[in-house]
Each structure stands twice: as C-alpha cells, then as structure tokens.
Amino acid sequence: MAFRAFRWRWLLGEQSGQRRVMLFEAVMVGYAFNNILPSGRVGELARAFYVSEKGSVPISMVFGTIINDRVFDALTILLLVGLTGFWILPIDPQLQVGLGGFQLSGEILNPLFVNVAVGSLGMVGLVLLLMLIPRRDGMFPLVLWRLPFLSDSIRDRVIGFFNGVVSGLHTIKNPRAFGASAFHTILVWGLAAATAYGLAWSVPGLSMSWFQAIGLMAIATVCAAIPSAPGFWGLYEAGMIFGFQVLDIHPESAVALAYGVTMHLIYYVPTTFFGLIFAGRSAIGIKRATSLKIDES
C-alpha cells in the first residue's frame, strides 16, 4: 500500500506536496470501504474525499488522479491477463469448482478473460481520449452551454468539476510523473507476486513457480469481475482453488483453500483494520462516504 501511495503522490502533480503518510492513510481508507461495502467502488469516493478534506485539494482533480492511478493498474491487468491467457486458454469448459454458493468453470472464465482484457483496454483508451481535451474551454463545456434546461449554477458546477477531472488526468503527461508511476506500479504488482510466491514456499509440501504465482494473480483478478459479497469472500477462495487446478500447482482442494484464505487475510485484515481507524480519526463514516456530494470549491 505504501508503493500505491507513492505512485499516487506523483500523479497528483502540482499537488504532490501532499504528505506521503496522508496519502497512505487515504489508500488504506479506500481499501477498507471496498472491503466492507457491497458496491466494491465506494472506496474510491472515500479516498478522494479524504485527500480533498485533509489536503485541501479540489475533489474533482483528486478524481482525475485516481482515474490515472487505475489506468496503471489496468495496463498491468491487461498484461497479466494477456500473458496468462496465452498460457492457459482455452480452459477446459468441463472443469468446475464450487465453494460457498460460487460456481467457477472454464465455460465462465474463458470469455471473462477476454472481457476483462477488453475492459482494461477500453479504460486506457477512454483516458487517452479525455487527455486530448484542453484543460479549459474544451468541447464538453461548449456542449453544456447549449442545453437550455440546465440552470447557470448547475452548469457552472458541472463544468468546474469536469475541468478539475481533466486537470487531474493531465498530470500523467509529465514524463517524470509517468516514469515514477510506472516504476511504482512494477513495485506494487511485483510485491504482490512475491507474496504469492513466498507464501507457497512457507506451506509444507507446496511449491510454486513465478509463472504460476503470476497466473494465480491473473485468475484472481478475472474472478474479481464477477459480482460477489463485500470483500470477495468465497469468490476469491474459489478462484484460488480453480487456479490451483488450472495451473497444476497442487491436486488437493483443501491445500488450495487454506492458501487462498491465508492470502485473502494478508490483504484484507490490515487494510480493513487500519483503514477504518484512519477513517474514524478523520470523521469519515460509512454513511458520509456513501452519500458524498461532489462539490467543486
């Protein structure tokens, strides 16, 4: 999470004077809310609100930098899914895993791999398109001015918010910011792969190659695209069991389940525990985050 905070600091551009500790707290708050709320994306609102309140940064610009932050993850997911897909696709449609009401099969995951890759590519393309819009007086404001049913106050607020988001997106054009963000993205995902790899070697009788660790990450990422309970409990573990079978890591489902639960806890417990503490200290409650009103100041 610290590397994610460092990456985000670069993406904030002119606002990069924000304290690393505060950005780290914001990232933890975001993950905590994603872990406990069903939408899985309320955390993005929470961390934007956290930085806007504590760092005095326009919330619209913060949203723009969060989009950039997700673009780097989308590029990594595209790479992971692409490489893993060439390796394991097509998965046997008859291969099935059931756990806690979740059913995974090759028939479900084969098209899902493609959908996740296309979605990641689409997100990157949309951001590139938005970056072509000038920071001020772009096409979007001109369109809004031609809508007679919008009041001047609403129109001004929407245009102000849009311009703030575009300003946040433009920070990625800085070569130093782009390079530093790419470097920290490698650290973020490299550490995740190292955790998966290291955990396997800590379990007696279980071994895993680096390619298998990366493949597990890709399968877990694809499974996250399936609607599930808060925190992906059950679905994540089913994905681990399925991944163990597809990647031929270990034949026993009990070993895969124990591995999956342990991996899940490694990420879930600290982010949820400390994230909620940081949120409570800053008076950012769940109700306040979910009913967040976007207002450009």
What pLDDT, in 10s, does the model give residues 262-283? 999 999 999 999 999 988 887 6
Q: What are phi and psi of 282, to 5 degrees?
A: -100, 10
Residues facing residue 98 across a β-bridge = 103
What pLDDT, in 10s, does the model give residues 169-187? 667 777 888 888 889 889 9
Summarize the confidence of residues 93-107 as an average pLDDT.
85
What pLDDT, in 10s, does the model give residues 220-236? 888 877 877 788 888 88
Kindly list the domain boundaries of the chain, sorted by start residue: 2-290
Sequence-separated (6 or more) residues with CB below 8 Å from residue 82: 117
Residues facing residue 97 across a β-bridge = 104
Encode 144-188 in three state secondary structure: HHCCCCCCHHHHHHHHHHHHHHHHHHHHHHCHHHHHHHHHHHHHH
One-letter amino acid for residue 84 of the chain: T
pLDDT score of 297: 43
Sequence-separated (6 or more) residues with CB below 8 Å from residue 10: 16, 176, 177, 180, 181, 184
What pLDDT, in 10s, does the model give residues 121-148? 887 887 777 666 655 555 555 555 556 6
